[in-house]
Amino acid sequence: MQLSTKHLLGIKDLTQEDISLILSTAAQFKEVLQRPVKKVPSLRDITIVNLFYESSTRTRISFELAEKRLSADTINFTASGSSVSKGETLLDTVNNILSMKVDMVVMRHSASGAPHFLAKHIPAAIVNAGDGINEHPTQALLDAFSIKEKLGSLEGKKIVLVGDIMHSRVALSNIYLLKKMGAEVMVAGPPTLIPKYIAEALKVKVEYNLQKALAWCDVANVLRIQLERQNQVLFSSLREYNLAYGVTKKILDGLPKEIVIMHPGPINRGVEIDSDVADSDRSIILQQVENGVAVRMAVLYLLSPKSSTLVNG
Ligand code: CP
């Protein structure tokens, strides 16, 4: 089976079948990653450039590891220390790299739409590793994989995204994916951090009371306050944010049932989530990171020119 798309620019463009194919392929790669020899030759002779114009820890390392596990050749580009500081455009940078026979591009950029722009101008397959406040498709896919692994399915599950919905590409990609796969989705947080028309536009529930939101859900995906993307004061202080919207052990202990806690990272401990929640048995935060490698292997493999070869090939 093949994906319906040449690039992975966003979850918005994927069909339900595409998402199921990526998740089932990721399950096969997760099995590969449990073996003593964690490497398969699936992408031998394929060269992938990781273009990171914005900071990253998890996504960059996860993509690089996924590429190495697939036996691809990898090049890592970070904007700092490159000729971007001398005025080179995104398109010139990428065309120069592609002229060295690079097959695929993984890109993170602070500008929403940067990978979509690139996809119109270059022949290589592009994977969006996060663009501005638009989408972070592989994060949503690894979140979905982790929920499925923990709860058995996505259909009918109640997921709440908590926090800075307004500036979160993780939230938007999760909403698109979870709705396509039949989950019920709620967003919760202060009114200033939730877009006004989100309920009508994306068909999600909205809740401004954290306790009520957590009592409703099976899974809470807690998001970081994206201070780097806010150009105005949207809440009074981090301390007050924690008091009203911080996920604490006390709130969780008062709920009628145990819920699963997720966070895409990086965590701001003591702001959106307390340490005794992030590090507890209810948290699957590090499983999300682990699953990211298998999910990114699946995405790269399915978008590559070699996607007709076998995982065990
Ligand atoms: N979740 C995520 O995108 O983390 P990084 O910014 O560290 O890649």
Q: What is the CA radius of gyration of the chain?
A: 19
Rounded distance, CA 149 to CA 143, Å? 10
CB of 265 within 6 A of ligand 1: the answer is yes
Q: Is the C-beta atom of 41 inside 6 A of ligand 1?
A: no
Atom of ligand 1 nearest to the CA of 60: 8
Q: Residue 53: its pLDDT value, please?
A: 96
Q: Is the distance from the beta carbon of residue 221 to the nearest atom of ligand 1 less than 6 Å?
A: no
Q: How far is the CA of 287 from the centre of ligand 1 (A)?
A: 14
Query: What value, to the nearest 5°, has the Cα angle with vertex 64 and ends 59 and 70?
Result: 125
Residue 269 DSSP class: B
Alpha carbons within 13 angstroms on the beta-carbon side of residue 192 total 10
Q: What is the pLDDT of residue 230?
A: 65
15-19, 85-89, 223-227: range with lowest mean pLDDT = 223-227
β-bridge partners, 109: 131
Query: How sure is the predictor about 185, in pLDDT bands with cuts at 50, 70 and 90?
Result: very high
Tokens read off for 218:
């099976």
Chain-centre distance for alpha carbon 102:
24
Ligand 1 midpoint to CA 108 (Å): 10
User: How many Å apart are CA 184 and CA 125, to the nearest integer?
Assistant: 32
Task: Count other C-beta atoms under 10 Å from residue 297's C-beta.
Answer: 30
Kindly report whether the peptide bond that precedes residue 264 is cis, defined as omega within 30 degrees of 0.
no
Q: What is the pLDDT of residue 312?
A: 46
Q: 62 with 127: CB under 8 angstroms?
A: no
- pLDDT greater than 50 at residue 311: no
Look at residue 308 and tell me whether its pLDDT is greater than 60. no
* Model confidence band, residue 310 (pLDDT cutoffs 50, 70, 90): very low
| pLDDT value, residue 1 | 83
State residue 313's pLDDT score: 41
Condensed to tens digits (0 to 9), the pLDDT of residues 115-155 reads: 999 999 999 999 999 999 999 999 999 999 999 999 999 99
Nearest ligand 1 atom, CA 130: 3
Percent of residues, the chain, with pLDDT higher than 70: 96
pLDDT in tens, 221-233: 999 987 676 666 6
Q: Residue with the nearest Cα to atom 3 of ligand 1? A: 59
- Label residue 235 by pLDDT band (50, 70, 90): confident
285-303 vs 58-69: helix axis angle to the nearest 10? Answer: 50
Counting ligand 1 atoms within 8 A of each CB, the residue from 57, 143, 164, 170 with the most, and so the one to mutate, is: 57
Question: What residue type is assigned to position 23 of the chain?
Answer: L
Residue among 52, 53, 58 whose CB has most ligand 1 atoms within 8 A, to mutate: 58
Kindly tell me if the per-residue pLDDT of 248 is higher than 90: yes
Q: What's the 265 CA to ligand 1 centre distance in angstroms?
A: 6
pTM above 0.85, yes or no: yes
d(CA 97, CA 230): 33
Residue among 160, 165, 186, 172 at smallest CA distance from 229? 165
Share of the chain above pLDDT 90, in %: 91
Chain-wide mean pLDDT for the chain? 95
In tens, the pLDDT along 263-296 reads: 999 999 999 999 999 999 999 999 999 999 999 9
In the three-class reduction of DSSP (H, G, I as helix; E, B as strand; rest coil), residue 278 is classed as helix
